[in-house]
């Protein structure tokens, strides 16, 4: 039987690249996203690349009340579930978030509370099943707050901490929780950002994610150099760090 994968936020740049890897492996996929047109285009591409099954569902993942039915319907469409991949999120505008709490709250809701709702339902499903992989995109930005993006970073810090605890709860019950911490990647989210020409290639990032899922890793820094970079950044003394222009 092919791998059965649920992708939440399937039209994001990293998710789309990851789905291309799964399609070549003959996986069965349910893609969830906001835009029917974008989902249809991604689904057609994945079918052409060899995916065994591709179904789509249009949903606003900020609508947490809809999560239980959405997830149950998706699993029924797949005939079961092996991997749940959470890839949705927003960068937000840091300046706007500094001036307007509602803008900051939207970033925190989409990047933290929505994934917490989905992970809670999915992890309980996998525990009952006795197996499964929950792979979630967090970010290296969550490892230390910086003035340039501390609202986005704090949403990812909260998500990473939640996944740490969830892993500690469900690992002994046959469930793998993978926290994915990408550095900057060339996607629509980062288009136009300073230095974007040097950002990581999404196809290489995607292959690393699929490999980590198959290896049942706990945490993935991608590209791997970010594990070293963040180790250094976390250990810069606060007296020095607060004077840096980051």
Contacts of 67-73 with C-beta under 8 Å, sequence gap 24+, read: 67/117, 67/118, 67/121, 68/121, 70/32, 71/6, 71/118, 71/121, 71/122, 71/125
Question: What mean pLDDT, rounded, does the chain reach?
Answer: 95
pLDDT at 2 over 70: yes
Rounded mean pLDDT of 55-68?
Answer: 98
Is the distance from CB of 11 to CB of 38 less than 8 angstroms?
yes
Write out the E strands in the chain. Answer: 4-8, 28-33, 53-58, 83-86, 132-137, 175-182, 219-222
pLDDT of residue 187: 76
**Residues 52, 32: Cα–Cα separation, whole Å:** 17
Contacts of 49-53 with C-beta under 8 Å, sequence gap 24+, read: 49/20, 49/23, 49/24, 50/23, 50/24, 50/25, 50/26, 51/19, 51/22, 51/23, 51/26, 51/27, 52/2, 52/26, 52/27, 52/28, 53/2, 53/28, 53/29, 53/78
Rounded mean pLDDT of 222-243?
Answer: 95
pLDDT of residue 214: 96
**Residues 101, 177: Cα–Cα separation, whole Å:** 31
Give 31-55 pLDDT, tens digit per residue: 999 999 999 999 999 999 999 999 9
Residues belonging to the active site: 152
pLDDT of residue 199: 85
pTM, to two decimals: 0.94
The C-alpha torsion from 156 through 157 and 162 to 163, rounded to 10°, is 70
pLDDT of residue 108: 98
Would residue 80 be called left, alpha or beta, if left means φ above 0 and alpha means ψ between -120 and 50 degrees?
left
pLDDT at 12 over 80: yes
Rounded mean pLDDT of 70-76?
Answer: 98
Give 160-184 pLDDT, tens digit per residue: 999 999 999 999 999 999 999 999 8
Tell me the β-bridge partners of 83. 5, 133
Rounded to the nearest 5°, which phi and psi values hold at 169?
Answer: -80, -40
The pLDDT-based confidence of 186 (bands split at 50, 70, 90) is confident
pLDDT at 192 over 70: no
The pLDDT-based confidence of 149 (bands split at 50, 70, 90) is very high
Domains of the chain, first to last:
4-242 (3.40.50.720)
pLDDT at 195 over 80: no
Tell me the β-bridge partners of 221. 181
Rounded mean pLDDT of 177-206?
Answer: 84
pLDDT at 1 over 70: no
Give 81-114 pLDDT, tens digit per residue: 999 999 999 999 999 999 999 999 999 999 999 9
pLDDT at 197 over 80: no
Q: Which of 157-161, 193-197, 232-236 has the lowest mean pLDDT?
A: 193-197
């Amino acid at each position: 039987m092919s791998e059965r994968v649920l992708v939440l936020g399937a039209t994001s740049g990293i998710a789309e690249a990851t789905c291309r890897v799964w399609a070549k492996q003959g996986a069965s996929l349910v893609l969830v996203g906001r835009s029917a047109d974008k989902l249809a285009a991604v689904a057609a591409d994945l079918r052409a690349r060899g995916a065994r099954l591709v179904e789509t569902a249009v949903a606003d993942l900020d609508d947490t009340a809809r999560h239980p039915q959405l997830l149950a319907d998706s699993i029924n469409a797949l005939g079961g579930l092996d991997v749940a991949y959470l890839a949705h999120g927003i960068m937000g505008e840091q300046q706007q978030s500094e001036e307007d709490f509602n803008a900051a709250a939207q970033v925190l809701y989409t990047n933290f509370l929505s994934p917490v709702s989905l992970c809670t339902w999915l992890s309980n499903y996998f525990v009952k099943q006795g197996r499964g992989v929950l792979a979630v995109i967090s970010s290296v930005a969550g490892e230390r707050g910086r003035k340039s993006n501390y609202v986005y970073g704090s949403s990812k810090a909260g998500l990473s901490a939640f996944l740490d605890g969830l892993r500690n709860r469900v690992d002994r019950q046959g469930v793998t929780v993978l926290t994915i911490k990408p550095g900057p990647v060339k996607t629509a989210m980062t288009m136009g950002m300073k230095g974007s020409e040097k950002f990581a290639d999404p196809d290489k990032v995607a292959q690393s994610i699929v490999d980590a899922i198959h290896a049942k890793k706990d945490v993935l820094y991608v590209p791997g150099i970010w594990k070293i970079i963040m180790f250094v950044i976390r250990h810069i003394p606060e007296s020095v760090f607060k004077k840096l222009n980051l």
